[in-house]
Amino acid sequence: MRKSRQVHPLQIRSPIPAAALPAAAALWWGGVGPGWPRQVPEVRASHGIVALDARGEVQGVAGLRDGAGGFPAHVPLLARLAFRAAPATADLVIDGIVVREPGQGVGRLLIEAAGGHARAGGHPGLRVEVAARNHTACAFYRRLGFAEIGRGRYGWPWSGEVLLLRRPEGA
């Protein structure tokens, strides 16, 4: 049986409000950075989008990356040395998206908000870099209009093959 769609209204906010930033950072790091130190590394509110429920609780978060950097405020030296960057792009990159309850429409709302950021910032499109073996994420992005533009061994050495997916935004 398929889950029902989100029935409670959500606020989509960016930059992420200061009161929501710690919870947004914890959710994001828990989803994209398992194994990081117990203390959640700092993130940049200006490079994130958050979905807040009526109680102000974080239901999802998307990190953004552009020429000025990404969602993490600081990346440890060892991580910077191990990470293999994908080819540079003029697109706005979704730097990881994590939701509390998949299948409720939160991820779609975050992607649509990121599309607005791309258009407002003059970026020609949105790009994601997702592990090819993450079939759920690949299907999610394809449903939202992303198409494969390349593949390679980007990201962490243990990531395996990574797909580059892109959606034009008409900037």
Which CATH number do you get for residue 33?
Answer: 3.40.630.30
Residue at 88 is within a domain: yes
Average pLDDT value for the chain: 89
Domain around 128: 11-168
Check whether 39 has a pLDDT greater than 90.
Answer: no
pTM for the predicted model, two decimal places: 0.89
In this structure, is residue 2 part of a structural domain? no
Burial tier of 48 (Cβ tally within 10 Å: 0-12, 13-18, 19+): buried
pLDDT, one tens digit per residue, over 54-86 is 999 999 999 999 988 899 888 767 666 777 788
CB 99 within 8 A of CB 106: yes
Structure tokens at 108: 């779609």
Whether 3 has a pLDDT exceeding 60, the answer reads no
What string of DSSP letters covers 118-161? HHHTT-SEEEEEEETT-HHHHHHHHHTT-EEEEEES-BSGGG-S
When divided into structural domains, the chain yields a total of 1
pLDDT of residue 74: 81
Q: 134-138: which pairs have CB atoms within 8 A and are 24 or more residues apart?
A: 136/102, 138/163, 138/165
For residue 62, is it within any domain?
Answer: yes
CA dihedral of residues 130, 107, 93, 140 (deg, nearest 10): 40
